[in-house]
């Protein structure tokens, strides 16, 4: 028997929604998991090309289960095209080189949360252009480079949702 999902009365979903941005993602199951994350939270998913896979691959659909139709997914030719098309007011870039912790940020509705590819992270042209907006997730063991992309996106997204729910509440 499956459990029903958690629907809490009074939880405030941000409007405009938060935007998860994946720059050149490479691993289909990570993107599929993030599709499910976005579908469950009403967040937008923005995919920055080139992608390391086709969106029709069975691995992505399997990872996203049957949630693709509930997610708002957008594709952009480049990060510059994303900025031009969406023009988010605030952007946070998540990188192992970020000098500030993700929990120290004050997230707001409509924020763009940008993550790099699984093997390369964010390209230098993005990190060099936005040093003040670089943010990291702490890692205790220096031998562990970073969190899995889907896990990092979920951690940050739910922290942003938690903060937004505490505002004016």
pLDDT top residue among 47 and 68: 47
What integer best gives the mean pLDDT of the chain? 90
Strands ordered across the beta sheet of 44-48: 72-76, 44-48, 19-23, 112-115, 91-94, 134-136, 100-101
**Farthest CA pair distance, the chain:** 50
Note the pLDDT of residue 1.
Answer: 41
Note the pLDDT of residue 35.
Answer: 92
Domains of the chain by range and CATH?
A: 19-166 (3.40.1280.10)
Note the pLDDT of residue 64.
Answer: 57
Note the pLDDT of residue 60.
Answer: 62
pLDDT top residue among 145 and 98: 98
Beta-strand ranges (E) seen in the chain are: 19-23, 44-48, 72-76, 91-94, 100-101, 112-115, 134-136
CA atoms within 13 A on the CB side of 136: 14
Question: What is the dihedral sign for C-alpha 23, 34, 130, 101?
Answer: negative
127-152 residue pLDDT tens: 999 999 999 999 898 888 889 999 99
CA atoms within 13 A on the CB side of 64: 28
Angle, CA 62 vertex, CA 68 and CA 20 arms, to 5°:
45
Note the pLDDT of residue 63.
Answer: 62
Helix (H) or strand (E) holding 37: helix 28-41
The answer for 57, left when phi > 0, alpha when psi is -120 to 50, beta otherwise, is beta
pLDDT top residue among 68 and 130: 130
> Can you tell me the mean pLDDT for 153-157?
98
Q: Which two tokens stand for residue 23?
A: 């720059």
Which of 22-26, 62-66, 112-116 has the least mean pLDDT?
Answer: 62-66
């Amino acid at each position: 028997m499956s459990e029903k999902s958690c629907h809490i009365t009074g939880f405030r979903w941000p409007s405009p929604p938060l935007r998860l941005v994946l720059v050149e993602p490479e691993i289909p199951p990570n993107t599929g998991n993030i599709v499910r994350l976005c579908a469950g939270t009403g967040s937008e998913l923005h995919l920055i090309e080139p992608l390391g896979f086709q969106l029709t691959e069975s691995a992505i659909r399997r990872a996203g289960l049957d949630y693709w139709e509930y997610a708002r997914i957008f594709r952009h030719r480049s990060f510059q095209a994303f900025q031009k098309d969406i023009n988010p007011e605030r952007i946070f870039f998540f990188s192992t080189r970020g000098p500030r912790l993700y929990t120290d940020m004050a997230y707001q509705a409509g924020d763009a949360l940008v993550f790099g590819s699984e093997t390369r992270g964010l390209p230098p042209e993005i990190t060099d252009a936005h040093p003040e907006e670089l943010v990291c997730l702490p890692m205790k063991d220096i031998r562990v480079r970073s969190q899995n992309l889907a896990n990092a996106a979920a951690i940050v997204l739910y922290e942003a949702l938690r903060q937004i729910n505490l505002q004016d509440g």
